Amino acid sequence: MMRRNDLGIAVMASIALAAAISIQIVRDRWYPRDDPQKEAILYVTSGGALQRLALSFDAILADVYWIRAIQHYGGDRLSGPKAQTKYQLLFPLLDMTTTLDPYFNIAYRFGAIFLSEAYPGGPGRPDQSVALLRKAIAVMPQKWQYYHDVGFVYYWRLRDYKTAALWFQRAAEQPNAPNWLAPLAASMLVHGNDRAAARFLWQQIAKSEEVWLRRNAERSLLQLRALDQIDQLETVVQKYPPPKGEPLSWNSLVKRRVLPGQPVDPVGTPYILDPVTGRVRVSEQSALHPMPEEPRRLQ
């Protein structure tokens, strides 16, 4: 039986830890970390050590680390180019979060999206994304969503259709998996579908119970619509070249009534037209920037 003095020490330690967490949260809210060196500090670098220190507050600490991961991702996404330091703490923070709370579903699933986002919208680390999801599978091996998410990373980011199909098949074998997963795996192997498969996958993710996942899926669906529009616009640009000696421009196409006006992307930002090559792209000012690198068909 624990002695009274030992119990008192444990209670005081718990109270002190809870107070420290509360103070840190308030400090982060009111005093943003502008010093890059301070931004790069992790509270503790060992998940095992932190679990021992956390006592019964590991769930609270997991929330703190998740908030820090979001702050780190959002801050670096909005900051200027910092190739050497951008997103460098994202995976360690997510790893710490899920070590403290191994059942933190949103940290696994949305954290994987953070990690797989192409630079500069994210670190462009699909390998770390897969590692985080494999960690989730080790804890919750019957949750089909994690297998699906790994497959999606291989499909959309790594463009490895064979591996993606295997993961989709594994997802289909899990309890309560939706019936569309098995046909999707077969389709991936046979056709190596491009936008059609991507659109279908994002439509499924858009039905998620997680609000953030739905929002990310909705944005990705808009990006796919933009890709379709870009294909159509580039076809028009090539079909109606400007008079000899004039550069390619939207104004020229509008004046010749080829287009009713300067075309805009699905969120209302004007497309950029290269006056020499005729290539059309999304503006860096658009909410859809950066656009994903498209998957290619199997050879």
Question: Which tens digits make up the pLDDT trace of 261-298?
Answer: 999 999 999 999 999 999 999 999 999 988 876 554 44
Residue 251 lies in a domain: yes
Query: pLDDT-derived band of residue 260, with 50, 70 and 90 as boundaries?
Result: very high
Residue 254 lies in a domain: yes
pLDDT for residue 37 is more than 50: no
Per-residue model confidence (pLDDT) at position 48: 55
Residue 72 lies in a domain: no
Residue 78 lies in a domain: no
* Mean pLDDT of the region 163-179: 92
* Mean pLDDT of the region 182-206: 74
DSSP classification of residue 104 = -
Per-residue model confidence (pLDDT) at position 30: 45
Q: State the Cα–Cα distance between residues 137 and 126, nearest whole angstrom.
A: 16
Question: Which amino acid is residue 271, in one-letter code?
Answer: Y
pLDDT for residue 139 is more than 90: yes
Q: State the Cα–Cα distance between residues 193 and 173, nearest whole angstrom.
A: 22
Percent of the chain residues topping a pLDDT of 90: 45
Decide which of 55 and 120 is more confident: 120
pLDDT tens digits for range 3-18: 445 445 444 544 544 5
* Mean pLDDT of the region 255-264: 95
pLDDT for residue 40 is more than 50: no
Residue 299 lies in a domain: no
Lowest mean pLDDT among 58-72, 116-130, 149-163, 197-211: 197-211
Q: What is the radius of gyration, based on Cα positions, of the chain?
A: 24
Print the domain residue range for 233.
220-281
Residue 275 lies in a domain: yes
Three-class secondary structure of residue 210 per DSSP: coil
Per-residue model confidence (pLDDT) at position 253: 95
Lowest mean pLDDT among 68-72, 133-137, 197-201: 197-201
Residue 141 lies in a domain: no
pLDDT tens digits for range 51-79: 545 455 567 888 888 999 999 888 888 87
Query: pLDDT-derived band of residue 190, with 50, 70 and 90 as boundaries?
Result: low
The domain tally of the chain equals 1
Alpha carbon 152 to its chain's center: 11
Residue 259 lies in a domain: yes
Per-residue model confidence (pLDDT) at position 243: 87
Q: What residues pair up with 273 in beta bridges, in sequence order?
A: 280
Per-residue model confidence (pLDDT) at position 199: 84
Please, which residues have CB within 8 angstroms of residue 284's CB and are 6 or more apart in sequence? none
Give the HSE-up count for residue 211: Cα atoms under 13 Å, Cβ half-sphere.
0
Query: pLDDT-derived band of residue 197, with 50, 70 and 90 as boundaries?
Result: confident
